[in-house]
Amino acid sequence: MGPGVEIIGTRITVRLHEPGGGFRDVVGTLETLTSVRKTDGSLAHFSHDQIAIWREIKPVPDRAGHGAPLSIRIQEIEIAANATWPAKEELRIGGWLLRASGPFTMRANSVLPLGEVPYGNPGMELEKAINTVVRFYRERKIVPVFHIPLPSYEELDRELSERGWEEKVLANVMVADISEKYPEISDEIIWETSDTPSNEWLEVQHDEPIAQIMGSYPAIYVGGR
């Protein structure tokens, strides 16, 4: 018996009988009772008679937690950063988040893949998804940019490179577990908190041009003197 309608929209793996004998496996998101959207965006069709066995793929926990792979923690940082400083305009195509903010940062004017590896599951053929991205940004007179968390989406990065896309900025993301033992902070430092970034806070990293984005979502800004 195949998957029911209540499973549509979830990730499954299906083992199918091959006409000449043997089996093949299909993994992806169930779109209809007889089709699965694979991670590369293509749609795999099958009949109920072909199904040997199937199972639902349970999602991983939303939060990585202590000791989680660095790639997962990097992705969580990207999600948190986007939630803290959201772009002016956002559009989702499958697992890709298209962001546009006019004359602001490259981050706020880029595509962030968040779906299943290796391509982020844009919900359509990869070439069509890339063309959709290009059209989205050209309509807004913005240069199309992908913001790719590595190593999770290395294959997407490689695919774009092979299509002629060029690396503009490479950023190192540093993460660490917070242990119970850490160096004591000097009592001479005077700590200040505010719900808006001060001029001094902005000057440290020359963030004055993006103050509008930084103030678009509630946050606490910490400074020390």
pLDDT at 177 over 80: no
Indicate if 77 and 156 belong to the same structural domain: yes
Per-residue confidence (pLDDT) for residue 125, from 0 to 100: 92
Q: Are residues 50 and 106 in the same domain?
A: no
Q: Are residues 117 and 151 in the same domain?
A: yes
Are 82 and 131 part of one and the same domain? yes
Higher-pLDDT residue of 217 and 3 is: 3
Does residue 18 fall inside a structural domain? yes
Quote the pLDDT of residue 78. Answer: 87
Is residue 145 in a domain? yes
Do both 24 and 103 map to the same domain? no
Tell me whether residue 171 is in a domain: no
Indicate whether 210 and 150 sit together in one domain. Answer: no
Tens of pLDDT, residue by residue over 116-132, are: 888 999 999 999 999 99
Please check the confidence at residue 57 and state whether its pLDDT lies above 90: no
In this structure, which amino acid lies at residue 84? Answer: T
pLDDT tens readout for residues 11-32: 888 889 888 888 888 888 988 8
pLDDT at 148 over 90: yes
Whether the pLDDT of residue 44 is over 70: the answer is yes
Assess whether 109 and 26 both reside in one domain.
Answer: no
Contacts for 142 with CB less than 8 Å, ≥ 6 apart: 100, 102, 109
pLDDT(182) > 80: no
Per the domain annotation, does 204 fall within a domain?
Answer: yes
Q: What is the CATH number of the domain that holds 14?
A: 2.30.30
Residue 43 lies in a domain: yes
In this structure, are 92 and 124 located in the same domain? yes
- What is the pLDDT at residue 133? 97
- 154 close to 118: Cβ distance less than 8 angstroms: yes
Q: Are 207 and 197 in contact (CB under 8 A)?
A: yes
Split into its structural domains, the chain has a count of: 3
Spell 132-154 as b/e; 16+ CB within 10 A means b.
Answer: bbeebbeeeebebbbbbbeebbe
pLDDT confidence bin for 181, thresholds 50/70/90: low
Same domain, 45 and 85: no
Any domain includes 181: no
CA torsion 18→19→20→21, rounded to 10°? Answer: 50
Q: Is residue 132 part of a domain?
A: yes
Residue 67 above 60 pLDDT?
Answer: no
* pTM for the predicted model, two decimal places: 0.61
For the ranges 66-70, 172-176, 197-201, the lowest mean pLDDT is seen at: 66-70
- Contact residues for 202 (Cβ-Cβ < 8 A; gap 6+): 208, 211
Do 11 and 52 have their domain in common? yes
Can you give the residue range of the structural domain that contains 89? Answer: 70-162
Q: Confirm whether 45 is domain-assigned.
A: yes
**Single residue among 13, 32, 56 that ends a domain in this structure:** 56
**149, 107 Cβ separation under 8 angstroms:** no
Question: Does residue 97 share a domain with residue 24?
Answer: no
